[in-house]
Amino acid sequence: LNKTDLLPHVKFDVARCIGLARRVNPSIEVLRLSATTGEGMQAWLHWLDHAMGLHHHHHPHHPEHGRVASGSAAG
């Protein structure tokens, strides 16, 4: 949930939002983030590190996997 620093200024029901998300994915992990205040940033970075660690397989058919960056030495 991003931009949590704006919550005091808008009509938004956080509990309802999370509840609806959990109806779609009961095991969803909800992180509350604010780049302005820094709230949740460490937790988000930890989540990203963990998620990247889980993504270790290779998809040669997918353009984002297995490509050589332009300008790099390939050989």
8 A C-beta contact, residue 33 and residue 2? yes
In this structure, is residue 11 part of a structural domain? yes
In this structure, is residue 14 part of a structural domain? yes
Question: For residues 68 and 58, what is the distance between their CA atoms, to the nearest angstrom?
Answer: 14
pLDDT at 41: 93
> Residue 7 carries which DSSP code?
G
pLDDT tens across the length of the chain (75 residues): 889 999 999 999 999 999 999 999 999 999 999 989 999 999 999 988 888 877 666 666 666 655 555 554 444
Q: Which domain holds residue 35?
A: 4-42
Domain total in the chain: 1
In this structure, is residue 37 part of a structural domain? yes
In this structure, is residue 67 part of a structural domain? no
8 A C-beta contact, residue 5 and residue 39? yes
